[in-house]
Amino acid sequence: MSHGIPVHPTQTIQSVLEIGLSRLKIKPLNEPKLFPCSRTDRGVHALSTTAHCDLEFPEGTDSISVIIHSLNSFLLRNDFDIRILDAKIVPDNFSARYSAIKKTYLYRFAVLKPGLYDCDRKAKYFAPVPIAEKDRCHFVFDSNFDHPSVNEASKLFIGTKDFRSFMGRPKINKDVTTVRSIDSLELRAGRSLLSCPHADLYNFWEVVCTGKSFLYTQVRRTVSVLISLAQGKLTLSDVENLFKNPSPESWLEKAVLVPGCGLYLVNVQYHPEDFLFKTNKKNRLFHTQTKVTTADGKVFLEEYAQEAEFVSISPIPQQAFGFVVDYKPDLQVATVLPGLSMGSQDVAQDVTVLRQNKITHILSLGVEVARVEGITYYYIDALDLPQFNLRPMFERCFHVIDSARKREGGHVFVHCNAGISRSSTIVVAYLMRELGLNFITAITILKKVRPVAKPNEGFVSQLLAFEREEHSSPVSNRPN
């Protein structure tokens, strides 16, 4: 520390900003604690990133202008390569990390053009690197690079998969779930930051990857595999094996980890609704129009398409009530097996729908509902959080479902709040046990009748662990 300010190499963006926040022109009443949307290795760049912080100011303080002006003044005075682009007040339940719906990473690398040097092994000692690209791009001196093979291999990474083979050894949170969802992975032609003779020696490339969250070194290891594949050091079968056998031991040493200097966090995306102050927030599964009143009395009309896809927010110039009005409750009853259905809590509270579907038993996960005469109720206390351990509740839920549909010949309805995560997890686990299925097959069956079913990342990890348990245990030892 120098005068209370971190000095390289121990400084972090978080520590720098926390000190800057504590030295604002108008000091906050509490000690600032910053929560970034993600953490990156040293040398990784962020073109745009986010963080949230709980701050209390004296009443009447223009906190936003104070934060932006004072923080940037602090950063400029102390020569930090950080700038605050924007700040806003958000609801108490907003999290820069967990509210994020998509992150985009870009990795820049340059491959030496073929035929310039007699031996690629010696090229790195002779080929000059553009000075403008120092610590901003990874240079590959082996000119052998089959880019069409990269496009083919990229398809293997898309979707929800176990990326355990691509995770480095994390310094913290070593028990993190390794299941992640990749929305897109693309190799495209890039360019040098500045035009100069030395830049003409290389073909510049960019790998763009999008997803909700990533494991430690996952993006860099992904790029390492793609480059090694294009150079002929790995085969497509080698890449497939990383997913078939997700384990640190499956990592291929031929795929040398690329440095952090080429990696850029491009942006972090959130739903616009997450920035609105609302008295109630609920996932909407079908096309829905909802009136929302903010804390300052402004009224907006939110519109959602199917599968909770956000469409638009439009201001309404009229007086409105101070609460959320959801005009279209989710009354879908998704029948998975004879005598077993699932969905949202709206069904569990609609007497007509319950009678029409001959529901005799209701299993509630974390959400208690008003009781209807003639229906047997069971309640399991469960939170929809990745870190919540739902696995110990599996057997109890199985017993409830089996008792209702097999021994009593009834029809059990399983629900949570929105019928997306908790109830889906229990139903998928039951299908795995009842039908001897793996996780992928079970979730596919459920999605055919309940397309919005989506266990959170922590629950997916628990289901994969449950799959391994089931396959390693003799059938005769499984409880009936």
Nearest to 213 by CA among 173, 269, 251: 269
Q: Confidence band (pLDDT; 50, 70, 90) for 480?
A: very low
Taking alpha carbons only, the member of 98, 109, 84 closest to residue 16 is 84
DSSP string, 162-231: E-GGG----SS-TT---EEEEEEEEEEE---SS--GGGGGEEEEEEEEEES---TTHHHHHHHHHHHHHT
Which of the four pLDDT bands, split at 50, 70 and 90, describes residue 257? Answer: very high
Residue 32 has pLDDT above 80, yes or no: yes
Do 107 and 174 have their domain in common? yes
Asked whether residue 395 falls in the same domain as residue 464, the answer is: yes
* Under 8 Å between Cβ of 426 and 414: yes
Query: For residue 431, what pLDDT is reported?
Result: 95
300 pLDDT band (50/70/90 cuts)?
Answer: low
Q: How far apart are CA 262 and CA 208, in angstroms?
A: 12
**Domain co-membership, 208 together with 79:** no
Per-residue pLDDT averaged across 23-49, rounded? 84
Q: Are residues 34 and 148 in the same domain?
A: no
Given a cut of 90, whether residue 336 has pLDDT beyond it is yes
* Whole-angstrom distance, CA of residue 436 vs CA of residue 237: 28
Least confident of 9-13, 106-110, 133-137: 9-13
Q: Could you confirm whether 416 is annotated as catalytic?
A: yes
Q: Is the pLDDT of residue 281 over 80?
A: no
Residues 437 and 377 in one domain: yes
- Reported confidence tier of residue 349, pLDDT bands at 50, 70, 90: confident
> Where residue 478 falls among pLDDT bands split at 50, 70, 90?
very low
CA torsion sign, 27 to 28 to 34 to 37? negative
pLDDT tens digit sequence for 427-457: 999 999 999 999 999 999 999 999 999 999 9
What average pLDDT does the segment 316-344 reach? 71
Cα distances from 229 to residues 217, 274, 369, in angstroms, run 18, 41, 54
Q: Name the band, by pLDDT with cuts 50, 70 and 90, for residue 321.
A: very low
Output the pLDDT for position 165: 92
**Lowest mean pLDDT segment, chosen from 62-76, 95-109, 143-157:** 62-76
Q: At what angle do helices 422-435 and 457-472 cross, to 10 degrees?
A: 10
- In the set 137, 209, 397, 416, the catalytic residue is 416
Query: Quick one: 366 and 446 in the same domain?
Result: yes
pLDDT at 248 over 90: no
pLDDT at 314 over 80: no
pTM score over 0.85:
no
What is the rounded average pLDDT for all residues in the chain? 82
Chain segment 162-195, per-residue pLDDT in tens? 999 998 875 555 567 788 889 999 999 999 988 8
Q: Same domain for 381 and 312? A: no
CATH number of the domain residue 178 falls in: 3.30.70.660
Of 233, 265, 297, the position where a domain reaches its end is 265
CB 71 within 8 A of CB 90: no
20 shares its domain with 53: yes
**Residue bearing the bigger pLDDT, 385 or 289:** 385
One domain for residues 191 and 152: yes
What CATH number corresponds to the domain at position 70?
3.30.70.580
Q: Looking at the predicted structure, is the pLDDT value of residue 139 above 70?
A: yes
Give pLDDT, residue 471: 75
Residues 219 and 283 in one domain: no
Neighbouring residues of 30: CB distance < 8 A, sequence distance ≥ 6: 54, 55, 56
* Shared domain check, 356 and 292: no
User: 138-140 and 102-112 as β-strands: parallel, antiparallel, unpaired?
Assistant: parallel
Domain count, the chain: 4
Q: How confident is the model at residue 415 (pLDDT cuts 50, 70, 90)?
A: very high
Which residues constitute the domain of residue 317?
A: 273-326
Are residues 126 and 166 part of one domain? yes
Domain stops at, among 99, 121, 147: 99
pLDDT band at 199 (very low <50, low <70, confident <90, very high): confident
Q: Would you place residue 122 in the very low, low, confident or very high pLDDT band (cuts 50, 70, 90)?
A: low
Q: Which of 265, 287, 307 is the last residue of a domain?
A: 265
